[in-house]
Amino acid sequence: MRELDELKALGDEAKAVEMAAYHKVGREYLGVSVPVIDGLAREWREGRDLEARLALADALWGSDVHEARIAAAKLLTQARIRPDEGAWRLIASWVPQFDGWAIADHVMNAGQRRLLAEPSRLDEVEGWLDHESFWVRRAALVGTLPWTHIRNPKAEDLARTDRILGWLERLADDRQWFIQKAIGWWLRELSKHDGDRVQGWMALHGERLKPFARKEALRRAQPR
């Protein structure tokens, strides 16, 4: 695959060793930085129709090379993809394969755009909360972070925010560190412009969180 060869040509063996030690996930690392991957992905998108981009993303993901999987996510990280059902289905197919935060977060950054474009997909994402893999459960929270950033929410936005806060309630007793961290992250982001809602949630459920997650959740919370 030409695109994978391009990535490999930019690799740094010493950095690849450092990355493997840092991420602690058993796959090939090339030692290519994210900004470089991002630039390549932009080049690869140009001149390709949607089907070709989906095929390339699928092939890069299938290589199981760390940087190639990030590039696959970058190929699909666009606000406007029409039609986008193929992109969403590909993203959703990758979620059960998550085994580390770095690739997962890049994929869910792409997934956030698709959820905003079609919020009815929250019905599917809600099913991830019961998955045996905590990476999948975590993806439900990372994928819905855009609902913490809406500064002038409409009634339907508030309803979706309350729905996701219900998901946090469901996961509050999950002792997995990455889940607790994601709950704290979600609440912290919401608190930047809706401290009252976060304070209310914490009053009801905060004691169920680990101390570090409680601290994270309230780090920016200021009632209006």
Class for the domain spanning 128-224: mainly alpha
Distances (CA, A) of 9 to 2, 35, 63: 10, 16, 16
Domain boundaries, the chain: 1-117, 128-224
- Distance, CA of 98 to CA of 85 (rounded, Å): 21
Q: Which fold has domain 1-117?
A: Leucine-rich Repeat Variant (1.25.10)
Q: Over 60: is that where the pLDDT of 224 sits?
A: no
pLDDT tens for 10-47 read 999 999 999 999 999 999 999 999 999 999 999 999 98
Question: What's the whole-number mean pLDDT along residues 64-90?
Answer: 97
Question: What's the whole-number mean pLDDT along residues 122-128?
Answer: 98
Question: What's the whole-number mean pLDDT along residues 162-178?
Answer: 98
